[in-house]
Structure 1
């Protein structure tokens, strides 16, 4: 079946689950030291011995170590050894491989001379080697010494052909499914040190294991910076997103990312618009005593504690992770992950940096970074670059190379720079004096012309940059031509939208008269005297002021009405607090306390007399 590049979708390029036809079409690209592609038939005998065949090792032995191996399991074990890794580095550095016996001697005795493989001898003694190897892998440091000694030879030797010669963070693959000018690219950071030597074989292994193994590998991603932290444990197996609702801002690849664990922490540790953490500020400018600085210091400590607790909780995952990617904004942030309270070691080969820039740490950014790491990208072929020149030994009779004399700046460019400087500072007398002193035309073209395509003359420049005073000086005093057009057919008048600059053009037109130039060609507005401009501005200011007052009054009226409505709504229709009082009760309420007591005594006396009369009648 014939498949076109347009039929390849983003979902088909997941490096752990590639589509079969895409995987079968991949062919590893090999480059020489000048980043020129080396074809299959151009591979030399040394590379054929290493087992290159579309990036696979088709030999039953190891070409890098030049030994015979048996079964596939023994070959896999051999590829994981330091011996194989050391010989690979020697091959890439142009050195011959060492035998296992020689390697054992190197590992035990740190014998630099036994590594030589060249006629040059090392001038370093044991103490120098020990100092050089500080905080480095022992064998890697020895190999670097040997390569440095090789560079002192003037034999014109070059780096052997390899897919790593591009000095790029990516490995490149050709494919019959793509056009000839396009290739696939995968990030090297996803491969371990042995895997990056045989990337295509590694990718095939990932795809086979992903379909057969029951235990799915996973990786860890951490980002920290500016008081923001995001971490996640991601499975190498994608989620089935068929039938799921789409989320805004997420691609199909990001939706398919399977998060086993994830956590984000945000704390205030950086002063807004100032940049840098509080600890960095304290180190550079001394400890501040403000409330904000104390809060930021507390939050820095709290953030560190929270992250380390999280790493302790995720320790079972971190011990089995295939890769651990860390992005830290500063060295202090990176130290948080390698504290004694965490389970991570800075020398762990699984720990790598992101080979691209990332944004603010969030869960979504972790997904985006994981997709960028684990999907093949469409790319163009690398461009050829000159290879590194071998270091030549200085001979005593040869003179040192002369310093290159800087090229002189053309006089027109110097004059342009000086004129524009005076123009931007609105120094009109000095500008006029400079033009007369150097006998320059006010309508001269600014140099270099490719930098001033939009503003070829000083009048264009002043108009575009809103220099109203200089526009008037150039027109009225220096008689600059307002009809000159740039390559886009724009006159100086058309380059400004500011009213005051346009009025400068109109005042100058009034002063110069209609016979100086064809003003219709310059598109300048009708001529106006300075008094007319001032009256028009006053009228406009009054109109704007009255309109502003009207709007303010309208807003105040609306605000008062709204306030009154709110008061009425709170007050309601009103309720009776007590029943209506009789006339006698209202009179009683109007009396003082003494009057009310005398009235009550009289009422009691009358009541007593009435009762006595009733008793007498009986």
Structure 2
């Protein structure tokens, strides 16, 4: 290891002050191999994940797979395989395919996405605020994550398959341009610069030399960095010539600011996340006080940001680079208004090419240091080559499987006998929808020429758009358990016939109980049909296993019912206690009122001689009555004493 190699690994370099010996030795990484792999992958892009999900063949019948998440389980991990379908990871990959129309992510990538979710919802850093708590986070993390990614889809290509980057190096650092410096440095050492720094798409050694500070000794050199999100704004103008970069020990000298400004307005809906304007556009305007405050603050934030940009216009026009982070609806604050200072057509205006935190002054400085720092990593070239070969083999294998499945598809439905239009079949289809098993088999006994596996006429299946072409499809979809079992076990209906959409009767089953019938029949008649490959029934189910499943479900329902009962009893107990407490309070209030009345009467008795003239006639009557009652009580007391 050379002294230069040791030096650059121990002390980071600024891209604006690279040593001359390093600049002279820099060579762009040879892209021929990388380009060849990328071209071949683009040619094979027709073999997409969506096509692979329509494959009708499993590679190994001894393994359990989840084609949505692209993972496998051994035959002994059946329980883990079942539990996998209830995880947030699996739910997210399904929504990623249906909503975002893209490929699945690994478990590690999913956890990283969840870790970043809270920042985008609240517009704050990882620390909590006084107005938010863990219980105020959106209930469904998966829906929140998908909604967040869907909102940023136009600017950030989140649907891009990471495997399409070309190599481990590009996959991790796709925003970088990479060089090496052989023989000055080892061939495994790669040196990177952010593409954002280059004014042209092609980044060569001449472009690197143009970045050096010595070219700007006699003229000012400014960068403008603007960040806006979650009601937070932070902006600054950096004097690049006076900024020493991360290699400077003194923090004050690392980034020299010409001017800066930060402020915050309450615009984010705390519990659900997102701006108030977004919620208004989606659900209509809310009339709450909080909604009105947020609408006012959004207008105020927009006004303040645009006024600040107008004040900084001279700096922005002279800036070599303008870095803007304004995701989602925040873009309309800085772009697209009348006499806008910033325009997307300006080549100097670029987005920040990495993940950022809450807009603060320290985050602005971090962004500058991150972009201006020369990246040095050591990469195992053999591992990169192995990764390329593995990816090529995987795509080739997928292509072969897809071609094989396409060749087998025509034979599945075209070889099935197609029934002619007949009133018997029309009546039979109506009985199947009603689930009348005994009537159906009585009808079949009278019309023995009817083939229960035949494709129904189009005029019968037209209302279902051809999704249920056979009687077994209909019975399975409408959830008639006994009818499905009788068709499979007694009438030997073919479970491998597929609909126009490529679905088997098992795949259109209404619920788990219907799917269990298919698995039971797979256990009873293992050699009758190609259950796994053609009918797509995943595994057989014994009677004991089914009873065990039913028992577990029964116990689970009993526990849920018991839990509901206890909750109801607790609610009734609390209501009874509350009613008793209210009655006690009312009784105490009555006693208090009567006691107060007695005190008033006693006072009246004491001062009756002087107050009789001021009393009303009714009060005098009551007073006289009270006097006579007290006198009678006194006589009774004396008589009792004698």
Please tell me the TM-score bracket, short chain as reference: 0.3 to 0.5
**TM-score, normalised by the number of residues in structure 2:** 0.39
**Normalized per residue, which structure has more helix?**
2
TM (norm. structure 1) is: 0.40
Q: Rg bigger for which structure?
A: 1
